[in-house]
Structure 1
Amino acid sequence: MTLRCLVIDDEPFALELMSDNISRVPFLQLVGAHTDPFAAMSLLDGGQIDLLFLDIQMPTLTGIQFLRTLAQPPMVILTTAYEQYALEGFDLNVVDYLLKPIPFERFLRGVNKARELHRLKAPPDQAPDPLPIPSESTFIVVFSEYSQIRIAFEHILYVEALKDYVKVFVEGRQRPILTRQNLKQFESRLPIHQFCRVHRSYIVALDKVSSFQKSRVMVGGKSIPVSERFAGVFNERYVPR
């Protein structure tokens, strides 16, 4: 039994994080992710959504106001950075209320609750699926140029900071993928055994490092600096091929 999911949040980075969490759970399927609630109306009106992740603070219409406009809403999990909205949300019979930043363990508890409710509503002759255990994700989901892009960890060469953005350099692509988030945020979403911060502006894929000399590494034909601050950790984790 798969739950078809829709995410509505006016913050692109929050959309990325939630989409990433959804991708890690086998019984969840991401159908759409929107910063504008009205852009998602066709999915909701068509009954194509089982579970809606809805942010409360949005500029045009709050999530709670939007929820009240839906004639037949799906199961809803509210997300917000402000705890005071919880009581009002539960008055609307939502499944759960997730306080940002959302730990994955807390997210998993919420979606398991939604799955159990969905199972209870299923026809009695429909056998329930066993609850699968989420496996470690092999990719990251980012938003770039108004599109949702899935990037396999194994294809990332290195990541470069660019003010409030990062550029992700990927094997087989001539141009890097530009997405709005800082390097620290992006680093927190990468597997620690595959990637290492080597500079305030760079993260490298450890298995893509072709050479290391003094204070520089070579990755994908580019020479990248290794600062003193990060050199110790890199030396411990880098194994020459």
Structure 2
Amino acid sequence: MIRCLIVDDEEPARELIKLHLSGLEDFEIVASLGNALDAFVFLQKNPVDLVFLDIQMPKVSGLELARSLQSSPKIILTTAYREYAADAFEMEVFDYLVKPITQERFMKSIARFMHYWSGKAEIPEPAKDNDTAYMFFKVGREQVKIMLRDILYIEGLADYIKVHTKDRSYIASEKLGYMEETLSSNSFVRIHKSFIIAIDKITSFNADQVMLDDKPLPLGRLFKAGFLKTIQAKTQD
């Protein structure tokens, strides 16, 4: 069962989401809340898989709530304003629905989520030993086994990722944010909104880029401090 939370300061908007979800057997609405503060408190105590989140709300906006969550569920933003789309996808929200939300558009979003959810169920947590650890990635219609030690870097491509190994690359159905949460921080580090790299494949770096063998990748401003902290910690090990 997929646990859903609805957060919107307008009751008609909450009721519409409930109506859209009412015919779906696999979805359970665990709460319907009118502000982001109540939602923040609820999420600290209750497991949730999917949040339908309005952006413009009193006191705390939906985007502020999303940024405040350390371990975030998948978020589908619901808003009457298109201008927040760039900020939303920078945060890697799952989808962005513009009000009034039609049943057709809502079901397209749900179909995408179900595709993600079914793939997630088939991906095991990677083992602690990186020499023997592997993951299965959904590549086309197949689940492809890739050893973690073979991964050079992972590139984000909107709703997909591109897993680069020394021999070849694979385009898989997954979000880069999920890979960041799943992969061990001892072996992988995010250096840019579009790139996660294998730490042991780094040959050099400077203030602007990281070299993996002969492949230069950009070092993003927002990720630089975390990258340097990770490298320092590895050096001290």
Q: Give the alignment's TM-score, normalised by structure 2.
A: 0.50
> Higher helix fraction: Structure 1 or Structure 2?
2
Higher Cα Rg: structure 1 or 2?
Answer: 1
Query: TM-score, normalising length from structure 1?
Result: 0.49
